[in-house]
């Protein structure tokens, strides 16, 4: 099949990646766009007057509402036209979630859940064994998983010179979703400098969403997807803790999309990507300042999956649906012999489940609302969710 018309699979990618590496090395240097300017024409779900759930949000309605959590992006969107392997067009990037100022020396508790396992998240062995997270969390596209991991290691070695001497070499946490519908996946196009730019750009406050960072090449419910975030805050009677979620949304068929029970995907049947392109994966990262142990955090992961289901998610056989939740409320210093901790009361955990599910649901919908129409390789187009149609649709179904 001619290069100009093909859509490659993961298997084909693996077979051809070696030759692409040579071409990529010969390609001219391209600019880095650390944050990618947000379009003024796109609005978050609540800005459209659509409210999901009943719990209040944090100040930013973002994962960064959890104290100490920061998010950074590096975005690469260059070139247009026919695919030239190793040269572009480029539609990729990396997103980083920082669990604190010094997670290497102050590990945080974490738990994870695999809803469907056709995907990869590196560095989770320690989470499974010890229930601790000692790395920032990086999100990117499948083809750049190794390169982002390498850049993360570069950052670790630059930041902590004792690694390899008095401290063990950490395994960075890097997760991926497949973005080859829009991107020159075989060329990869991310290096250490892009990972370091995302880390340098990490900050608290509002989080850029949609076509940014690791979400640049992603398609969700056959609309343009990408990065989305949301948060919920418990009442003071339950500790006043914050629960934030960030997603890299790349899953779902159009007819499945549901917003507050309204079958939006069935109602908006046009603006389809070429070849009926289906995307099937999502990475979901949760954070809280509630002092929770790994078993509790794993339970929150499962409730985030319920939030995905409320948007229409089915978690298909070939989907990579990976969920991780961490708590900044418990910090463990590896050099300490003992650590005394307080633990969130299980009598209150149902409210925490509620918060995690609501935040995950709204994070997906924010990704859709904020993403702009994006044209990639060979003119492949992922159309933005037409926001102007939503108010009429919601009224039609008495919302």
Give catalytic residue positions.
281, 319, 321
How many CA atoms within 13 Å lie on the side-chain side of 249? 38
Where in 134-180 does DSSP place strands (E)? 137-141, 173-177
Burial class of residue 282 (count of CB atoms within 10 Å of its CB; 0-12, 13-18, 19+): buried
Q: Rounded to an integer, what distance in angstroms lies between the CA atom of residue 301 and that of residue 287?
A: 10
**Which letter does DSSP use for residue 9 in this model?**
-
Cis-peptide into 337, omega within 30 deg:
no
Q: Rounded to an integer, what distance in angstroms lies between the CA atom of residue 65 and that of residue 232?
A: 9
Residue-level length of the chain? 399
CB atoms within 10 A of CB 388: 8
Structure tokens at 301: 């992961």
Structure tokens at 325: 């939740």
Q: Rounded to an integer, what distance in angstroms lies between the CA atom of residue 159 and that of residue 134?
A: 14
């Amino acid at each position: 099949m001619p290069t100009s018309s093909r859509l490659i699979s993961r298997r084909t990618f693996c077979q051809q990646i070696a030759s692409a590496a040579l071409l990529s090395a010969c390609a001219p240097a391209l600019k880095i766009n650390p944050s990618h300017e947000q379009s003024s024409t796109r609005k978050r779900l609540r800005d459209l007057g659509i409210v999901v759930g009943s719990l209040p949000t944090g100040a930013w309605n973002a994962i960064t509402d959890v104290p100490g959590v920061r998010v950074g992006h590096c975005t690469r969107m260059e070139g247009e036209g026919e695919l030239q392997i190793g040269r572009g067009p480029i539609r990729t990037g990396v997103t980083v979630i920082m669990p604190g100022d010094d997670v290497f020396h102050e590990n945080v508790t974490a738990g994870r859940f695999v809803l469907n396992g056709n995907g990869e998240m590196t560095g989770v062995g320690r989470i499974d064994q010890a229930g601790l997270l000692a790395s920032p969390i990086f999100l990117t596209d499948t083809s750049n998983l190794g390169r982002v991991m390498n850049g993360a290691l570069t950052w670790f070695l630059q930041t902590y010179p004792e690694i390899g001497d008095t401290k063990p070499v950490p395994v960075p946490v890097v997760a991926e979703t497949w973005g080859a519908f829009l991107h020159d996946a075989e060329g990869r196009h991310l290096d250490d400098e892009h990972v370091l730019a995302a880390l340098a750009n990490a900050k608290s406050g509002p989080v850029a969403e949609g076509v940014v960072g690791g979400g640049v090449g992603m398609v969700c419910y056959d609309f343009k997807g990408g990065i989305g975030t949301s948060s919920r805050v418990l009442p003071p009677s339950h500790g006043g803790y914050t629960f934030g979620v960030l997603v890299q949304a790349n899953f779902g068929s159009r007819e499945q999309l549901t917003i507050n029970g309204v079958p939006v995907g069935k109602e908006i049947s046009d603006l389809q990507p070429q070849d009926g392109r289906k995307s099937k994966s999502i990475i979901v990262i949760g954070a809280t300042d509630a002092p929770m142990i790994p078993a509790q955090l794993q339970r929150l992961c499962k409730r985030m999956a319920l939030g995905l289901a409320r948007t229409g998610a089915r978690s298909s056989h070939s989907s990579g649906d990976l969920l991780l939740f961490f708590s900044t409320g418990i910090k463990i210093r590896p050099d300490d012999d003992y650590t005394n901790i307080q633990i969130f009361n299980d009598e209150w955990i149902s409210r925490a489940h509620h918060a995690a599910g609501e935040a995950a649901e709204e994070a997906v919908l924010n990704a859709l609302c904020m993403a702009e129409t994006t044209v990639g390789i060979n003119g492949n187009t992922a159309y933005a969710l037409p926001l102007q149609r939503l108010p009429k649709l919601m009224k039609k179904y008495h919302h």
